[in-house]
A and B are shown apart, each in its own frame.
Chain A
């Protein structure tokens, strides 16, 4: 499968399914459910396929080179194809010796310099492994879409996005299973569900900012309807609140993107031997300009960063803009809550890590302390409010606010005075938190949904002693809730430790505050478990335990909670870490950053301390 087919099918198949189920015959609700499940499965399998392609061993695997290099080499291939002679690099092989030499490639207008760049072993020929340099099998797709504005159909995967694509695929598959009991307007439900899946996949893959924005906005509509039609009693209020908040936030993002697009006018900056000019939506290219040149000054970067920050923390959500989340969660049906907590919130975090920080590193650095403070405040505030809840679902919702605070904190903790590897801990921790929270929060909402299905209440004061009639359910809940709490050995712990490690070198006061919040988290989670599972049980004596369907949804989540906690390096950091490190490196070495006051001689160390090192000092510490 070519890159184009692979990446396109990730969003196109759900989209086609979304339209397709609408045309299913009437009264065929069961068929619709199976079709939707099949499409979710296929999408998840394709994301696994992409994972396989990404982590394939060898030099030509996409993991071996940075997303930036792959994106730029892909441009070469696009240019080669543009001249009409070749459709794939193999067509270049005129003499049929299976290798491409310099003569053959210059026929197509490629300069010898570019050839030398791709020809890694300098033997004057391109072996099949070096084709990857031409942009084949590099998991990047790049086609012109609206040339007038320089907008491209531009998708790409690296460790960061791939981990979230996998999470999306898995969560959607499980949520699709969790939707089995939906009876109302089944066709419409699954159509919107698949549309949501398509747009989420698109958001995580898009590298063109315009395309990103489109996928980002397309998400709104299905989510609005899914809450507003299939939600609880106060669903309309929750849905319109969600819609307006997110729309409002996205306008900020759009303005940020447009500033980047227009800033500078006709000015030029030299970037890697090529002139950089405004009027580009290419996030990789613009991020490179922001990091390697002084094209975007710190003033404009502050603006861009602030706008994007507001836009993404609405989605994340973080303290001042979080109020839509509890409403949306309480009213949304269980599977939609799973998606909302498991994937949608991650889009906010992904936006921060992929756009807000890399596109405006200097601005972000200057605003780091207030942003980190917002993160810490969210952690504590979310935990305290969660503690006060009696609605089970609202409690889990506020715990999401608290956990997402770690993402903000981890990203914001840019410490230049110490070794940049500490920042790398922070960002790795933030990414790890997104994955871990995606798994545990989806699990938690599913657990709440299971209870609600049986007892039709979520009031914590009316529950109690459920362990006794439902031991399996209790077991699953305990693992997932403990995972969320950050019990050592489960996934949440790794994330929290990394973030706090990073934050310590940034601002120890904030780090201590964040660390104390762990106690609050433990407090509300243990108290919740106590109120639900322990104690006397008068009312709910004979409840059926998890059935096959519910069990099969819980198992993957339980397994991942444990595996990510026990072997974080093997399961995630090995392939995600290098990509995170690339981002960190670009941010910390950005031009215009104030020079580190402590160790100015460390210039080289800052430049690239851990090139391609899959084993980062901090990460190996965990393994030890």
Chain B
């Protein structure tokens, strides 16, 4: 096993928030069965809630600490490249922790369950799963974190045992979820079978040759894509895999619904974008016909169905949470437009629009579900009619709610409007002509039409709050309820007026998301297919690279500024590199030592597949740093860690090279299975 796959303390530091939160869940569990054993439910709820909030606070603090104390050169290559650590994971971990804090706070609003220890532990662990899901750079890690997240969510959905709907919702969620997970896993296994790797970056590289033909004559690939779509479709609640959502949303206690609707959806969307827009990018569509065989057209159909169905179904709802469930389905449809736009666009930054929308959507949704929690607390029901007269009983929160609803409709000047428009504008900005662009324009038109339709049911909430005089039993909101509503409103207004900062940072994150941080991407032109310009290196060239790095390392060793530890590591690296250079064994394309010309390697996908893996590694530090320089991120990769990482990965090159000329692998892709 390559040394770099053994986690170092530094690797653990990168995932400190996750570790803290996972431990915190355990401690909460122990506290519940230990010291708090005989306490009342109220007391346990309050204490454990505060305790978990403290956990979120500490996790946030570690992130801030890392932000303020950048440890020199950060290498994104952690845990052997299975987990990313870049601008995307940082910002979205931050988002998840903030949302988690709101949900934890919201959970303390009333007693919907007795088993608080398990509840909070599962809540936190679901969050840990989400954070790993966002960071996953490898299909197995992705699947494991997806399951960590969903299994926790299945369980807490059914925690309100006093209501049958809760249990029913959990059951449905679980049955649908486990079937879709099984199918998803099958899809993953097919991907592995077809590409020989589970790492997103390698899958990406192997499939690169398919950019021209898309999925045509590739039955296995098509099946894999379909199965993956089932899995992701379930997680983001896209039609036709949405059936669980209304029942689970309605049945689950409001804080859990908030958590399912935001955290789970956000994380799944990021994972979806990583898998489809990065790893399976080449299967999006063929170049001959932009909507040709590939997942792009499929996703377009799903997107259209999802937003239209979600909106029209929401029109008929009387239950507030159920209405929000359908609205959340329709929002998934809007976001899928954004995803399609990225795939058809030449700019990777356009994925920033989806990320932006996810953030706004997350805060808005938590705010609205806080109101649902309020109803559940006081009425033990959550019909829209229960909101009657809220505007006169609690004007400030009602006004906040108005703004949240406006943001969900997409009315300016709220951030929801800007986010939606931003996504639609990226969709219109695609400079491909022909069917892809027409489809996108059609989708945007449909999206705009749907926004108008959605106004109808969101306005019903406003109508209930302001135009009716209601029952007088609703009590003032506690802080646990008010805080998410107010924070959501603040986000919606603030980013409605000043979207610029968030927008730019999301663009940076998007670029990092779609250029896997563990790979070296050439990004000079941020072309549609960033790797299409990449030249494969011959064995001799790779050896040259190593020699150059070795020389550079030796040069560095001479400088006096190095610390003792760094010097040691550098010496180790040099030793390794010297070994490689002395042996002269580096992966050589086509099995021979001659080195095939770059052009022919790029032209022949079957051959390119075998050689791509080893030969790109040495180029990594240079190209990566070039990318970052262009992206404006303050992260150089070419330093100490880069050197050791390179050394660590070098041995891996040899076994990969041995399997390079695998004729069996290339046939299913190049020749049609007839």
Write the residues of chain A forming the contact surface with B, with a CB cutoff of 8 angstroms. Answer: 22, 145-149, 185, 188, 213-214, 217-218, 220-221, 224-225, 228-229, 235-236, 240, 243-244, 247-248, 251, 254-255, 258, 261-262, 265-266
Contacts and interface: CB of A to CB of B under 8 A. Distances in A.
B466 A229 contact: yes
A244 B429 contact: no
The 6 A-B residue pairs with the shortest CB-CB distance in the complex, in nearest-first order = A214-B412, A251-B448, A217-B412, A262-B428, A247-B452, A248-B452
5 contacts: A146-B500, A149-B425, A247-B452, A251-B449, A261-B425
A228 B467 CA distance: 7
A148 B413 contact: no
A258 B500 contact: no
Given A228-B463, A251-B448, A262-B429, A214 B413 contact: yes
A213 to B, nearest CB: 7
A244 B463 contact: no
Contacts of B467: 228-229, 235-236
Contacts of B463: 228, 236, 240
Interface string B427-457: 0110100000000000001001101100110
A258 B402 CA distance: 27
A622 to B, nearest CB: 42
Given A149-B425, A229-B466, A262-B429, A217 B411 contact: yes
A146 B499 contact: yes
A254 B462 CA distance: 24
A218 B455 contact: no
A243 B504 CA distance: 33
Contacts of A240: 456, 459, 463
A309 B559 CA distance: 71
B452 A221 contact: no
A244 B453 CA distance: 8
B406 interface: yes
Contacts of B422: 149
A157 B98 CA distance: 44
A240 B411 CA distance: 15
Contacts of B392: 185
B503 interface: yes
A299 to B, nearest CB: 15
Contact of A266 (B395, B431, B445): B431
Contacts of A251: 448-449, 451-452
Interface string B468-507: 0000000000000000000000000000000110011001
Contacts of B504: 148
Nearest to A228: B467
Contacts of B449: 251
Contact of A243 (B399, B459, B503): B459
A249 to B, nearest CB: 10
B455 A243 contact: yes
Given A213-B412, A217-B411, A218-B412, A224 B459 contact: yes
Contacts of A266: 431
Nearest to A216: B412
Given A218-B413, A228-B466, A147 B455 contact: no
A248 B409 CA distance: 12
B406 A221 contact: yes
Nearest to A214: B412
Nearest to A144: B500
B512 to A, nearest CB: 18
Contact of B445 (A221, A225, A255): A255
Nearest to B499: A146
A251 B503 CA distance: 23
Contact of A265 (B402, B431, B466, B503): B431
Interface residues of B, number: 33
Contacts of A149: 422, 425
A254 B448 contact: yes
A243 B507 CA distance: 34
A266 B395 CA distance: 50
Given A225-B466, A243-B455, A247-B455, A147 B500 contact: yes
Contact of A146 (B417, B431, B452, B503): B503
A254 B645 CA distance: 50
Contacts of A224: 459, 462
Nearest to B448: A251
A23 to B, nearest CB: 10
A235 B468 CA distance: 12
Given A214-B413, A240-B456, A251-B451, A148 B500 contact: yes
A244 B445 CA distance: 17
A621 B302 CA distance: 64
B451 to A, nearest CB: 7
Given A240-B463, A251-B451, 19 more contacts: A146-B503, A147-B500, A148-B500, A148-B507, A214-B412, A214-B417, A218-B412, A221-B406, A221-B411, A224-B459, A224-B462, A229-B467, A236-B467, A240-B456, A240-B459, A243-B459, A247-B455, A258-B428, A262-B428
A262 B425 CA distance: 9
Given A146-B503, A148-B500, A255-B445, A244 B412 contact: no
Contacts of B455: 243-244, 247
Nearest to B507: A148
A147 B466 CA distance: 38
Contacts of A244: 452, 455-456
Contacts of A228: 463, 466-467
Nearest to B349: A148
A224 B413 CA distance: 16
A220 to B, nearest CB: 7
A154 to B, nearest CB: 15
A147 B445 CA distance: 25
B581 to A, nearest CB: 47
Contacts of A225: 462, 466
Interface centre among B425, B451, B507 (most CB of A within 10 A): B425
Nearest to B402: A221
A513 to B, nearest CB: 34
A32 to B, nearest CB: 14
A381 B143 CA distance: 65
Nearest to A145: B500
A148 B455 CA distance: 28
Nearest to B410: A217
B152 to A, nearest CB: 37
A255 B448 contact: yes
Contacts of B445: 255
A417 B223 CA distance: 65
A261 B421 CA distance: 13
Contacts of A188: 395
Contacts of A261: 425
A255 B448 CA distance: 9
Nearest to A213: B412
A205 to B, nearest CB: 16
A81 B402 CA distance: 39
A220 B448 contact: no
A437 B412 CA distance: 29
Given A243-B459, A244-B455, A255-B448, A148 B466 contact: no
Interface string B249-279: 0000000000000000000000000000000
A235 to B, nearest CB: 8
A242 to B, nearest CB: 11
Interface string B123-146: 000000000000000000000000
Nearest to A215: B412
A244 B417 CA distance: 16
A203 to B, nearest CB: 12
Contacts of A262: 425, 428-429
Interface centre among A145, A214, A265, A266 (most CB of B within 10 A): A214
Contacts of B425: 149, 258, 261-262
A247 B402 CA distance: 17
Contacts of A248: 452
A251 B463 CA distance: 23
Nearest to A250: B452
Nearest to B391: A188
